[in-house]
Structure 1
Amino acid sequence: MLTAFVTGSAGFIGYHVATRLLAEGWRVIGLDCLSDYYDVALKKRRHALLAQHAGFTAVEARLEEPGRLREIFEAHRPDLVVHLAAQAGVRFSIDAPRSYVESNLVGTFELLEAARAFPPRHMVLASTSSAYGANTEMPYVETQRADHQMSFYAATKKATESMAHSYAHLYGLPVTMFRFFTVYGPWGRPDMAYFKFTRAILQGEPIEVYNHGAMRRDFTYVDDLVTGIVKLADAVPGDKPVSERDSLSPVAPFRVVNIGAAAPAPLMEFIAAIEAACGREAEKVMLPMQPGDVPATWADIGLLTDLTGFTPEVEMRDGVARFVSWYRDYYQV
């Protein structure tokens, strides 16, 4: 039985990735510190569901705790690492930047050191579409320069890409960084806009719409993201590009891959899908753009398809309906 080490396993995406790997016969070691950035009860519930699988082992610890990850790697010798734990949130990074240094930078350093000591077959690490920053040429392609991040969150995630590349070059660690785009779906994060919109609409409260609604996002349903991640686990970087658009490093077994829907939708259209699923219209408070935000995102997923043969399958209105159904059931609305 192969072993996967999933960081952030009590988080939104980590929970879904661990669930998929367990279903495919992997043994999963899941690490999470159960931080109070958002509802801890939701995180505990996710871990409790994973614990129903005989192949799941939960470890409650912080990434940045010196030597802790090395102990885990030595004890379990993972074949695959899926690194999803991070301090998330663009706006929160303006108010609490130190937490991003500790979790995203120091935490990733500890992970890379553990992998250097006990090398896995492949490391798949989460980055973000926010790494593209001020780029205006769309769709975003992995080979574009990405030098002008707009938030400290994005800056720390871009820094982890550089850190991982250096370890891939120096120690031959195969690394795939995936940049994910606005992810939504059941068991989502309460700090995300779609979650807040659903809660407010069902409670008859107004919603806050930034940039007066003039935004577009490449909304990605969580099941599509997870399929992309799991399929990339088998696409271990080597020394030969798979196509002319490959982002493979010329000096390391390292590449960056977008995982998105490749179908940017207007924010107002996304809100309309939530309204339809909730069965009521929202009262909207139009506000200016928030600091650190960008007006649009759009993923080119050609490289993902070249590597895995996969293209996203879940249409936005269907995905939104699935989320609202989960929300009603979970919160007994």
Structure 2
Amino acid sequence: MTTSRCLLLTGAAGFIGFHLAQALLATGWRVVGVDSLNDYYDVRLKEARRDLLLRSPGFRFVHGKVEEPGLLLGLMAEEHPDTVVHLAAQAGVRYSLENPRAYLEANLIGAYELLEAARAIPPRHLLMASTSSVYGANTSMPYAETDKCDTQLSFYAATKKANEAMAHSYAHLYGLPVTMFRFFTVYGPWGRPDMALFKFTRNILKGDPIDVYNGGDMRRDFTYVADLVEGIRRLIDTIPVRPVTPADIAPGDSLSPVAPWRVVNIGDGVPVQLLDFIRAIEQATGRSAVMNMMPMQAGDVPATWADGTLLNRLTGYHPRTGVTEGVARFVDWYRGYYGA
């Protein structure tokens, strides 16, 4: 089935943005992608993603920072997109300890510019990326969207929690339908070089040691990127509506009682031990890892685990790619791309 709908996508040359753009272009969407192509990690990888997207006649690329005053407003006025998906952000928990201003500018000011543009020229649906890091010091798992989230452990997580609150205020004040999604350790082909899978694969193939934090006593809800993209695609047409009364909100639904605003976890729902993840990489590469055991890093958490009930109830979807399969696909891509 094809469509001629228009999507404004920020962070289009990023890992997740690239995969989402590819998926929507393949079904006939027109995608206007914005990206700053900054040097947080290898710009050549971002440029390669962008160049692949530019092969589609339905893709338009705009080089710019989302925090640039008026950039997004101008694009909204020019394109009048049906849907906006906001993925642009300064990512990474650890880097936020070194350069918090980058998070202030991209994550807070960038979100403000987006919300102002959407207020002026409302899309049918605004979807914005948050993160499982907002659950912070919560220890009750699996994490549910209705859990209280007031104990963020990094400035990165704090900016994402602020984005949720900012978007809620605009949804309440201006009737802007907003869905926030909380991601859980996304991995797969074309992934970010600062993520564990990329670093582990690179070092294992070279025979170099890998740094394993908290002595390997870490659990993550690893989510394969194609599963994440399918969740986002299904949420595009799952538009929140302001409830008439609190009784209209189903148990377990994060729908706001005062705004057309909802937050949804997109995670695999299965916590995987870090050492088991490393074994999957060893299996896919045919090499053994040399592990350098390290203490827990500041701002990090020992475990994440998504409750995927709400996503499944809203869309009928649940992520389905296991770690062994997903890691093997990444390693195949890595070897092909880098000739390793």
TM range (shorter): over 0.9
1:176 aligns with 2:179: yes
1:69 aligns with 2:72: yes
Question: For the residues of structure 1 that align with 2:191 and 2:292, how far apart are their CA atoms?
Answer: 23
Please identify, of 202-211 and 237-246, the stretch whose mean Cα deviation from structure 2 is larger: 237-246
What is the root-mean-square deviation in Å for CA atoms of aligned residues? Answer: 0.7
- Say if 1:218 and 1:299, in contact at 8 Å, map to a contact too: yes
- Say if 2:76 and 2:117, in contact at 8 Å, map to a contact too: yes
**Offset, 1:280:** 0.8
Q: 1:283 aligns with which of 279, 290, 300?
A: 290
1:255 aligns with 2:262: yes
For residue 309 of structure 1, what is the aligned residue in structure 2? 316
Identity rate of aligned residues, in percent? 64
Question: For the residues of structure 1 that align with 2:126 and 2:21, how far apart are their CA atoms?
Answer: 15
Q: 2:24 aligns with which of 13, 21, 25?
A: 21
For residue 238 of structure 1, what is the aligned residue in structure 2? 241
Question: For the residues of structure 1 that align with 2:100 and 2:93, how far apart are their CA atoms?
Answer: 10
**Offset, 1:239:** 3.0
Give the aligned residue type for 2:311. L
For residue 321 of structure 1, what is the aligned residue in structure 2? 328
Give the aligned residue type for 1:236. I
**Partner SS for 1:194:** helix
Question: For the residues of structure 1 that align with 2:71 and 2:159, how far apart are their CA atoms?
Answer: 21
Question: For the residues of structure 2 that align with 1:186 and 1:26, how far apart are their CA atoms?
Answer: 22
For residue 216 of structure 1, what is the aligned residue in structure 2? 219
**Partner SS for 1:196:** helix
Give the aligned residue type for 2:44. A
Q: 2:273 aligns with which of 266, 271, 276?
A: 266
Structure 2 alignment gaps of length 5 or more: none
Count of equivalent residues:
333
Question: For the residues of structure 1 that align with 2:16 and 2:250, how far apart are their CA atoms?
Answer: 29
Q: 2:55 aligns with which of 42, 46, 52?
A: 52
Structure 1 alignment gaps of length 5 or more: none
For residue 232 of structure 2, what is the aligned residue in structure 1? 229
User: What CA deviation, in whole Å up to 9, does each residue of 1:131-160 have, x standing for no partner?
Assistant: 000000000000000000000000000000
For residue 138 of structure 1, what is the aligned residue in structure 2? 141
- Say if 1:139 and 1:299, in contact at 8 Å, map to a contact too: yes
Q: Within 5 A, what are the aligned runs for 1:94-113?
A: 94-113=97-116
Question: For the residues of structure 2 that align with 1:301 and 1:27, how far apart are their CA atoms?
Answer: 30
Question: For the residues of structure 1 that align with 2:103 and 2:309, how far apart are their CA atoms?
Answer: 31
**Partner SS for 2:108:** helix
Give the aligned residue type for 2:324. R
User: What CA deviation, in whole Å up to 9, does each residue of 1:241-275 have, x standing for no partner?
Assistant: 56311100000000000000000100000000001
1:165 aligns with 2:168: yes
**Partner SS for 1:106:** helix
Question: For the residues of structure 2 that align with 1:242 and 1:4, how far apart are their CA atoms?
Answer: 29
- Say if 2:242 and 2:261, in contact at 8 Å, map to a contact too: no
1:30 aligns with 2:37: no
Give the aligned residue type for 1:144. D
Q: Within 5 A, what are the aligned runs for 1:4-15?
A: 4-15=7-18
For residue 188 of structure 1, what is the aligned residue in structure 2? 191
User: What CA deviation, in whole Å up to 9, does each residue of 1:218-250 have, x standing for no partner?
Assistant: 000000000000100010001345631110000
TM-score by length of 2: 0.97
Question: For the residues of structure 2 that align with 1:180 and 1:283, how far apart are their CA atoms?
Answer: 29
**Partner SS for 1:66:** coil
Runs of 4+ in 1 over 2 A off after TM superposition: 239-243
**Partner SS for 1:6:** strand
Give the aligned residue type for 2:297. Q
Question: For the residues of structure 2 that align with 1:308 and 1:271, how far apart are their CA atoms?
Answer: 32
- Say if 2:249 and 2:257, in contact at 8 Å, map to a contact too: no
Question: For the residues of structure 1 that align with 2:196 and 2:108, how far apart are their CA atoms?
Answer: 26
Question: For the residues of structure 2 that align with 1:293 and 1:59, how far apart are their CA atoms?
Answer: 34
**Partner SS for 2:90:** coil
Give the aligned residue type for 1:259. I
Question: For the residues of structure 2 that align with 1:40 and 1:293, how far apart are their CA atoms?
Answer: 26
Give the aligned residue type for 2:282. E
Please identify, of 240-249 and 90-99, the stretch whose mean Cα deviation from structure 2 is larger: 240-249
**Partner SS for 2:62:** strand
Question: For the residues of structure 2 that align with 1:166 and 1:242, how far apart are their CA atoms?
Answer: 19
**Partner SS for 1:257:** strand
